[in-house]
Amino acid sequence: MFRRDGLSVLALSILLLLAGCTAGISPTTQATESTGAGSLEQGVTVTVIKVTDGDTMDVRFANGSEETIRLLGVDTPEVYAENSPSEWEGVPETQAGRDWLRQWGARASEFATSELDGERVEIRVDPQEDRRGGYGRLLVYLSTADTERSFNYRLIERGYARLYDTPFTERDAFVAAEADARESGTGVWSFGDEIESQTASSIQDSPLELVEVNADAAGNDNENLDDEYLVFENTDPEPLEISGWTVSDSAGHTYTVPDGVRLKPGARIRLVTGPGSDTQSALYWGEDQALWNNGGDTVTVRTANGETVLKQAY
């Protein structure tokens, strides 16, 4: 009798163990697909709690579980990593091309944030595509209540993204939308004319010059923020008031010069990434991590009125 009970307990334990370790199903997946508010195939309502970039977000389900989702079929330019212009037809394999893609990566992130952050949206998976990508993120179409097309499609249509070519159900519609955007020079596909226009007309004459960029701090950049800096110089024979001017990188990080900063003729001022107390010769951005990419970035300076006075790649 004791032996039979022992075998029964052992068999039950094995069954429970196998049930929890079914191939391809993680505890997070089980929680996600048992929300009680529909299935991922038909569509589930979630809340966007964080926008990482134009095609990646964190969402919360009705049952409180959270997932990182990746929008299916689209690829927005990278903001936090290097881009490969060869993947974007018409964008040259140059620093200007990489700067252009990073700029549009930041714009795609801003668009996604303005449209989705904090909003209730619907997500669904595609029967022809894997549920999860290589990083374990849930691959989905995302839709908002006020539009008929998915947000994925809208990114393609508005030139914020290119087609990420896999065999998903709506591939043909996405291919057509990308072709239309490229033909009309929409968004990221407008490289060339817009670059020339920016260079010719949007940059105003200014005596402020960028004379030094120290993007690669000694040691670990994130642990030596005092050694990551820009140096600007007033090349005019008159004093230059720069209060309220902004300095930005390609990802859209922006510093605003505080009140009372006035450069004498020939004076230089250093903008340090890390925290510190401002002086006549140094300003401190106050960031807790490195900003300027060691492999190249673009420094943009605008006046308090928003006029671009300096745009320089390094």
Distance, CA of 271 to CA of 148 (rounded, Å): 46
Active site residue 196: no
Of the candidates 68, 39, 41, 44, the one whose C-alpha atom is nearest the C-alpha of residue 56 is: 68
Active site residue 137: yes
Taking phi over 0 as left and psi of -120 to 50 as alpha, with beta for the rest, 192 belongs to left
- Kindly name the residue from 124, 137, 162, 302 that is annotated as catalytic: 137
- Kindly name the residue from 66, 78, 110, 209 that is annotated as catalytic: 78
Distance, CA of 210 to CA of 199 (rounded, Å): 17
Element (H, E) at 283: strand 282-284
Distance, CA of 43 to CA of 39 (rounded, Å): 6
Q: Are 312 and 299 in contact (CB under 8 A)?
A: yes
Q: Are 264 and 239 in contact (CB under 8 A)?
A: yes
Distance, CA of 126 to CA of 157 (rounded, Å): 20
Scan for tokens 């401002």, then name that residue.
278
Q: Which residues contact 30 (CB under 8 A, 6 or more apart)?
A: none
Q: Are 265 and 238 in contact (CB under 8 A)?
A: yes
Q: Which residues contact 157 (CB under 8 A, 6 or more apart)?
A: 149, 177, 180, 181, 186
- Kindly name the residue from 67, 70, 98, 182 that is annotated as catalytic: 70
Q: Are 310 and 255 in contact (CB under 8 A)?
A: no
Work out the widest C-alpha separation in the chain, in whole angstroms. 102
Active site residue 70: yes
Q: Which residues are catalytic?
A: 70, 78, 137
